[in-house]
Amino acid sequence: MRRSIQDPISRRSFLSTSSSLAAGSVFAGLSLPNVHAGRGKIRVALVGCGGRGCGAAANALSVKGAEIELVAMADVFANKPRAGREALQEQFDQKVNVPDDRLFTGFSSFKNAMDSLSVGDVVILATPPAFRWLHYQYAIEKGLHVFMEKPVTTDGPTSKRMLALNEKAKQKNLKVGVGLMSRHNVGMQELEKRIRDGALGEILMMRGYRMHAPAAFFRSKKKPEGISEVMYQIQRFHSFLWASGGNFSDFNIHIVDHLCWMKGGFPIKAQAVGGRHFRQTDEALWVDQNFDAYAVEYTFLDGTKMFFDGRCMPGCHIEYRSYAHGTKGAAIVSANSDCGLPSRIYKGQTTTDKDAIWTSDVREDQRDPYQNEWDALIAAIVADRPYNEVDTGVRTSLVTSMGRMAAHTGQEITSDEILNSDFEFAPDVEHLTEDGPAPVMPDKDGVYPVPMPGLKGKREY
């Protein structure tokens, strides 16, 4: 079915500026089952025991005023759940109640972990995003509340699937948080209110930058011996478009997200340039699928522009922050990194200290948006309040993918085009096996296909 990016929620709720507001407008008037009634302890399972998964588990166990216990852990790599358990036990001691027989490994380990929970418990989905819809589908089946990391999707078909799945989650009254933590940054929440109240006048332009040296698994060497093709790609997921949407989607989504939030909507089209300057350096032959640099121009329905520059190159100018410019003044939205405090408003278009007229001032115990997002999710579960950030998460993921696809194909891409595109990066993700073929395979020299703008039509490679 052909859909518009504004289905299935109304334009009004689609344009809502905070995820909790959006949730409120979607759920208003519905009578929903209470899936936490009468239960004390909230049990949590972790799927994807890497850096962020264990970080999210730590945030869950740090929520004050609720009894929360980690009871199961799952990962495709055998060493990860055990290592994660040790690290979390050091910090949280008895709140980590994960005996050896609740440490699970393999591609179906997500089921084992969720089977260890009961209706109304919480599962953390923190694998690379290629698996998100598959794991969410099972969580909904099991009646579990969910915290899922961003990106939520990386292409059109999985975005439609997630939106459809999310309708089922809402019917079941499941509470679902998405790791777009900017929206839980209290300084940005205050800035967003001020922008809605007209502090910047009409927003004319926004810009975001994530420019630094290569980071995480942005680039990869040829696969070494001793690990299968699939496992190598999963381990280095930022290097492979099917697994993560590449570094463009994985790294840049936060700034795209909070600028859309400041604007109060999502762009309708994107054009972009990008390229790969270095493949062979003194250090190695890099065989991943990413461009080194991206410059995307997004356009909103009212003609407002949002510019995003992403670069992962050593030795170049470093900038990692975001701005909004309006008819009455400008704002620094994120002062550093994905959503760094403080946000500030300036009386002119130059963001110099002497022109600052407002600076966010956030209480010390509210300064960690990763903790705030968990406090909000657990509060909604305990109070049985509607809470669902997935529709917004899908739209932000799709807008990020729209910019990436515009750069990779060399075409202007509209929001409807990407949503209705039939190109799915990993259509068989639920059938992957450790030794089977991977969604993208290298050539005889161990090199993976890269995007070739203008030459490869509407596919990205």
Using CB under 6 A as the criterion, which residues of the chain lie in contact with ligand NAD when the complex forms?
47-53, 74-77, 80, 107, 109-110, 126-129, 131, 149-150, 179, 181, 234, 250, 338
Judge contact between 383 and 267, C-beta under 8 A: no
- Within 10 angstroms of residue 265's Cβ, the number of other Cβ atoms is 18
Q: In sequence order, what DSSP letters do the residues of 295-314 get, joined into one string?
A: EEEEE-TTS-EEEEEEEE-T
Give kind and range of the element (H or E) at residue 330. strand 330-334
Q: Least distance in Å: CB of 52 to ligand NAD?
A: 3
What is the arrangement of strands in the sheet containing 413-414, beginning at the earlier edge strand?
356-359, 344-346, 330-334, 319-326, 203-212, 305-312, 293-299, 269-275, 413-414
Least distance CB 235 / ligand NAD (angstroms): 6
| Residue closest to ligand NAD, measured at CB | 50
CB of 355 vs ligand NAD, minimal distance in Å: 30
Q: Which is nearer to ligand NAD, 51 or 437 (CB)?
A: 51
Cis ω for the linkage preceding 314 (within 30 of 0): no
User: Measured from the CB atom, is 39 or 52 closer to ligand NAD?
Assistant: 52
Q: Is the dihedral of CA 206, 157, 435, 111 positive or negative?
A: positive
Q: β-strands 122-125, 42-47: how paired?
A: parallel
**Half-sphere exposure in the Cβ direction for 165 (13 Å, CA):** 24
Q: Is 27 helix (H, G, I), strand (E, B) or coil?
A: helix
Tell the smallest beta-carbon distance from residue 452 to ligand NAD (Å): 26
Chain centroid to Cα 182, Å, comes to 11
Q: Measured from the CB of residue 85, what is the shortest distance to ligand NAD in angstroms?
A: 13
Task: Please state the closest distance from residue 219 (CB atom) to ligand NAD, in A.
Answer: 15
Supply the DSSP symbol for 23: H
Task: Look up residue 343 and give its two tokens.
Answer: 């946000």
Please give the C-alpha separations between residue 381 and each of 39, 175, 376, 436, in angstroms, as whole numbers.
11, 6, 9, 40
Could you give the CA distance from residue 93 to residue 84 in angstroms, rounded to a whole number? 13
Q: Which is nearer to ligand NAD, 76 or 450 (CB)?
A: 76
CB 81 within 8 A of CB 49: yes
Rank residues 109 and 166 by Cβ distance to ligand NAD and give the closer one: 109
**Nearest approach, Cβ of residue 309 and ligand NAD (Å):** 19
State in angstroms the smallest separation of the CB of 112 from ligand NAD.
10
- The span from the first CA to the last CA of the chain, in angstroms, equals 25
E strand or H helix that includes residue 46? strand 42-47
Q: How far is the CB of 107 from ligand NAD (least distance, A)?
A: 6
C-beta closer to ligand NAD: residue 104 or 300: 104
By beta-carbon proximity to ligand NAD, the closer residue of 9 and 45 is 45
